[in-house]
Amino acid sequence: MGAESPELDLVISSLAASFEATVARSQDEAAADLALSLRQGRALIEVLYRAQGLEVQLSGGARHSVTLLGDDFCGIGEPVVRVLTWTTAVFQTTASVAAPKRFAGDLIALAREWTRRGAHVDVVTGAGGLRGRLAEAGSDYLCVMAAAGPRYVPRAALTEMTLLREGSAGAS
């Protein structure tokens, strides 16, 4: 066997470089696909918990710093006096505000805490507003003791709740 020709060396070198570039491109695409899949597999709560600071934008355009983050709501104020369901909000991460505190539970769990403290609230639903003392927080509803008597609010209808004041749980 004789020495290889210079043309053959160039072809082999070119094929080797092309192969290595294809492999590297394929690995980059696979890594990008994996990263995309991992991001798409996250739930909103996971994304929001990782944020260093959050603002919530409401339908009228108002923006507020999020100070508390629960499983299905965000809280505004320090201490929290207003809570909004996720269905009424758009979130934006921001470094200009502190990271929100975490609340271990959903809006019903927070309502139960407020009920034990005799909270008087303003509740907003798709059917309108309601004001009174939180009397109970069931698994999927709130009972608000309004001036005209008890009113029951399905959890699915609740969009916002504002703490007006706290009092004894037995008082109305």
Is the predicted pLDDT of residue 9 greater than 80, yes or no?
no
Is the predicted pLDDT of residue 3 greater than 70, yes or no?
no
User: Confidence band (pLDDT; 50, 70, 90) for 171?
Assistant: very low
> Across-strand partners of 125?
128, 158
> Across-strand partners of 120?
133, 165
Question: In terms of pLDDT, which residue wins out, 75 or 19?
Answer: 75
Q: 145-161 burial, b if ≥16 CB within 10 A, otherwise e?
A: beeeeebebebeebbbb
Strand arrangement, sheet containing 90-93: 63-65, 54-57, 90-93
Strand arrangement, sheet containing 68-69: 101-102, 68-69, 73-76, 82-85, 158-165, 120-125, 128-137, 141-146, 149-154
Question: What is the number of other CB atoms lying within 10 angstroms of the CB of residue 32?
Answer: 10
CA distance 49 to 53: 9
Contact 83, 121 (CB under 8 A): no
Q: Please, what is the average pLDDT of the chain?
A: 86
Instruction: Tell me the pTM.
Output: 0.73
